[in-house]
Structure 1
Amino acid sequence: MQNIKMSDVDQPNLPAEFPIGWKSDVAAEMLRKLGIRYVALNPGASYRGFHDSLVNYLGNQNPQMIMCLHEDHVVAIAHGYAKAADAPMAAVLHSNVGLMHGLMGLFNAFCDRVPMVVIGATGPVVPEKRRPWIDWIHTCKDQGALLRNYVKWDDEPRSVEGVVEAFLRGYQLTCSTPNAPVYICLDAGLQEEAVSGEVHIPDIERYRPKTRPAAPAQDVQAVADAIKAAKTPVFMFGRGSRDQAHWDARVKLAELAGASVMSSQRERAAFPTQHGLHVLPPMGSMSAAAKDLLGAADLIVSFDYSDLQGFLRQLNRRTGTIKAKIVHVSVDDVLHNGWSMDYFGLPPTDIGIAADPDAFVEQLYPALESVLGGKKRWDGQSRRKWEPLNYSERADQVLMPSDIEVALAEIRRDRKFTLTHLSFGWAGRAYHWNDPLDYLGHDGGAGLAAGPGLAIGAALALKDTDRFVISVDGDGDFMQGATALWTAAHYSIPALFIISNNRSNFNDEIHQEAVAKDRSRPVSNKWIGLRIDEPALDIASLARSQGVEAEGPVKYKKALLEALERGLAIVASGRPYLIDVSVLPGYANKLVTRGD
């Protein structure tokens, strides 16, 4: 496979430029004016007018179509792009049936708080325009009801003016904090109507996203005073932007405050894990060392730490009795609607700050500097309390999931890696985050099949940069999203897919073991209905069948390191690559199986 430029793929033969002539052209023109670079889609007749406008009116440029084999991949690719670019991509879903396919991906993206412009379509609203049978089953009233509980906003415009306003409003909302997808449904009949009269599109600059919400001065001062009074403050960094300036500002603030730092393995990299103040590895569930750290804290400042209550509950079930003063900085409640529990438990909060966390960091630094008299509290001595993770004892003969992390850390050297997804076997004790693009976080809603699409979307955003995009997926997760690889091959999107293949839905084996123990039943049966074996999956052949070069199963350390180097060489040349790594079942960190 040759490395090709995106602008060379699937370009139409156009004898001339066409003026806006159809109402679907208006929707396409809005995407271009809003600066949307790519639009992922799986074809469908409900938006055939809009499809024609993308090809024959826009010339398949700005935005360019990214064709996928399944609607779930359409959304996952747009999701991964947003995670890497901090900017929205468009995703198109075919009528009610395509929308229902894409709903899982949309729930992931909503829970992950990423921007995305989702364009749907319904069969002709006017019944006399519907083709027999097919247009009737592809038409529904209030299509947005299918996803309204997990998007930020939706609309179904009925006129050219309505289309213009829908895209202006949708873009503004999805890009304003807190981010989340928006949905615009285009009536198939409206798309195929000719434009009559002049189409007025206002100056886009007057409808740009709102600035990050900041805190009132008295709240900023209250937190600065609380930090000054604290002897053992802990900063918990959760959701944050990919902006290097914001990353640097977090580091400066922690050093000024002398605060110990914790971050989440579920969220995007927010703080350098090798820094002396990052005391523990990025957290999934609460470790014994984390309990000690938080138990000794007299001030806990959460910068939009997701599920703060659930995390603190592992420290003390009665979180309201925790002695430390707690500050929680977040505007996430703007999206809380009562349908989805992705807002998590209600944490005890002594000072609640309704502000974007990065905007608040910028506000807090000068206020804290003033109350501290300009003196930095951190003495430069490292507080890190974890030992580096090494290869498992028998890695020369058989691999554990954590060996993938150790191998990536070993071969990384001065290369810039962007990890887009991690398997449950990731320990976080060998591999470090050094900048905002080192790790892009979890899939948000824990819906399987996202991993491959997330990697492709991120690699699309980072194509032609010096970064290597790498995804570490479990075999069960990967198989549900495997056909996303065709898109990577077709558009020559360079990403390295590493499959941590334990031949099981092993997460559920742990849960079945917990239930069997509770009920005094045989633990030996935990694998039934969960193992992915007999026959074993030929994952490398599946990748090759879609045009992606692949190898495996790789079964020991030396072979893994050699495979990684081969894969990175292919990715550096501009092509995707897959490595199937055979690992024994097992997790580096304890899985929480109960809520009590």
Structure 2
Amino acid sequence: MPVTSEDTGVWGSDIFAEMLRGLGVKYVALNPGSSFRGLHDSLVNKLGNRDPQMLLCLHEEHAVAIAHGYAKVTGEPLAVILHSNVGLMHGSMSIFNAWCDRVPMLVYGATGPVDAALRRPWIDWLHTCRDQGALIRNYVKWDDQPGSMEAALESMLRADVIARTEPTGPTYVSFDVSIQEKKHAEAPALPDFSRFRPPLPAAPSAEGVAQAAALLTQAKRPVVLAGRVSRDPVDWARRVALVEALGAEVLTDIRIGASFPTDHPQHRGKPSFFIDDVSGEVLRQADVILSLDWLDLAGTLKLAGKLEARVIQASLDHQLHNGWGMEHQALPALDLHLACAPDVATHALADALGVGGGDAPADLPVKPAFDAPAEETPLDIMTLAGALGQGLDGICASMVRLPLGWAGESWHFRHPLDFLGYDGGGGIGSGPGMLIGAALALKDSDRLPVAVLGDGDFMMAASAFWTAAHYGTPFLAVVSNNQSFYNDEVHQERVAVERNRPVENKWIGQRIGDPDIDIAAVARAQGCEGIGPVSTAGELVEAVRKGIEMVKAGKSVVIDAHVQPGYNPNMVAGLTRSE
């Protein structure tokens, strides 16, 4: 705990700190910087480093990724503070991930004095931008650089409301260091925070609900694409009840987390990055398709082939599309668009059809779909899943992250917290931070946070694990270590085949070896528990069981699992498909 401070007056940053507390922010993730030295002091010496508590990170990208993982569990924004233009540039990749993943986040920055007469020589000039928000304006919902204390308070309120409003996303407010460090005769009255809340969710029109209900009830082969929906168990239960009442088939997507029980008799195919043959056939036979904010609806329907189905979309995502990025994907052809959040549409349709609330999902032990491999079996991406499931037997776990080559059919998800999805923007290096943020959110729950990370993802952000160890954040991370940037080996093989060149050279510039990296030692160097390397199914089962006991004792645990290079067949087909 910080040393108790005597009252030395009211400073601008004290007011900002009180605003963060009033907004209900529990944590502030940051890497220190002089541009917000005033706010740093206020968080420690004015608020006592509680409500919010500071989370010291060793890189700005990790700070944002931690906020990302936290929001995926809670649906609530965690605050991040980035040092001037340089910290913002460091954190920009993770902000892009959060933007693509549509998660709420409060990002705060700072700039050297806008008034040039107040700048210190050299460093303040380097760290002052005329329009700092321009660096990330294309992938945040809103940004501002207020010029006074009064304007700053309003900006903080507005940023919070906008970040939390569907479709959610990150916002950015940059504070002039001069405003932070100005002394005030007295503190201004803080706003009534209860009067600055997000608007009530927009409801679809009665006409639209009636049309959708009619299409779905008249359909002989309805299909529901369960996409970017909430983690709320109430929404989950109603979604399942609606599907059961319609007799619909359901597809899910491994990029966006658990949205429907995958062991349900009406679930088809497997959650994956690309639809498999079973999913494609389900879509081709459908006469009505209900998309609940499905990620890349047009691309999925294109991959399925010739379709005859009427398509209903429930989504607000169009409100975030702009001309800079293409993360909005291709434009789908729709027969009916309900411009509302997908869960709002689900409840409205269920109400219209007289469907009840359904049964709340239970927190159950993990349910692997693969049999446990023999102990001496060498690990690959498929046998790793079976061995991990055997090691976690009887444990209620949240799978925070799974690697690119994961086989979606290897694991069943039966609760909205059973799996949290991918990173949103494909920015490798986000996995460790997102795991830490999710584990922080799950710390007081009965769930064990688990992640399977790639070795490249781990090494890009290995120092993030220091923050986990420092704050006593328990989790189990298994590094699927194929000693390669294998995704690019797949692409290099395809290019070599097309050009009739040696496929045997695909590993050059991709393999992470000579020397091999001691993943467990890297984890121990950050203060975590490191186990391994292990290379057989039996060794992994033993390591996981040992790791669970360490996690129960409050430790952050990393297991180095050496796996043979390779992906599940559907993943390879999707990555190399040209149409």
- 8 Å Cα contact 1:76-1:105 kept in structure 2: yes
Q: Which runs of 5+ in 2 are unaligned?
A: 359-367
The 5 A counterparts of 1:161-560 are 161-316=150-305, 322-369=307-354, 388-390=369-371, 396-560=376-540
Counterpart secondary structure, 2:10? coil
Q: Distance in 1 between matches of 2:328 and 2:250?
A: 23
Counterpart of 1:389, as a letter, is F
* 1:100 counterpart residue number: 89
- 8 Å Cα contact 2:392-2:545 kept in structure 1: no
Q: Distance in 1 between matches of 2:233 and 2:72?
A: 14
The 5 A counterparts of 1:125-136 are 125-136=114-125
- The structural deviation recorded for 1:279 is 1.8
- The structural deviation recorded for 1:595 is 4.2
* 1:13 counterpart residue number: 3
* 1:152 counterpart residue number: 141
* 1:68 counterpart residue number: 57
- 8 Å Cα contact 2:216-2:222 kept in structure 1: yes
* 2:363 counterpart residue number: none
Q: Which runs of 5+ in 1 are unaligned?
A: 1-10, 377-386
Counterpart of 1:70, as a letter, is H
- The structural deviation recorded for 1:594 is 4.2
Q: Deviations over 1:440-494 (max 9, x none)?
A: 1110000010000000000111112111101111101110011000001100101
- The structural deviation recorded for 1:283 is 2.9
Evaluate the alpha carbon distance shift between residue 75 and residue 20 of structure 1 in structure 2; reply closer, same or farther with a 3 A threshold.
farther
Counterpart of 1:416, as a letter, is C
Q: Deviations over 1:272-331 (max 9, x none)?
A: 111111122213212111111111111111000010111111112xxxx62100111100
Q: Deviations over 1:92-133 (max 9, x none)?
A: 110000110000000000000000000101111111211111
Q: Deviations over 1:383-417 (max 9, x none)?
A: xxxx943456x762411112222223223334211
Evaluate the alpha carbon distance shift between residue 201 and residue 409 of structure 1 in structure 2; reply closer, same or farther with a 3 A threshold.
same
The 5 A counterparts of 1:108-123 are 108-123=97-112
Evaluate the alpha carbon distance shift between residue 533 and residue 198 of structure 1 in structure 2; reply closer, same or farther with a 3 A threshold.
closer
Q: Which of 128, 138, 143 is matched with 2:127 structurally?
A: 138
Give aligned pairs, total: 566
Q: Deviations over 1:75-100 (max 9, x none)?
A: 00010000011101001110000110
- The structural deviation recorded for 1:368 is 2.0
Give the TM-score normalised by structure 2. Answer: 0.95
Q: Distance in 2 between matches of 1:267 and 1:399?
A: 26
> 1:569 aligned to 2:558?
no
Q: Which of 7, 11, 17 is matched with 1:22 structurally?
A: 11
Q: Distance in 1 between matches of 2:511 and 2:12?
A: 51
Evaluate the alpha carbon distance shift between residue 395 and residue 265 of structure 1 in structure 2; reply closer, same or farther with a 3 A threshold.
farther
Give the TM-score normalised by structure 1. Answer: 0.93
Q: Distance in 2 between matches of 1:111 and 1:583?
A: 30
- The structural deviation recorded for 1:429 is 1.6
Q: Distance in 1 between matches of 2:293 and 2:105?
A: 21
Aligned residues: CA RMSD? 1.6
- 8 Å Cα contact 1:408-1:431 kept in structure 2: no
Moved over 3 A (4+): 387-392, 411-414
Counterpart secondary structure, 1:482? coil
Q: Distance in 2 between matches of 1:424 and 1:395?
A: 25
- The structural deviation recorded for 1:34 is 0.6
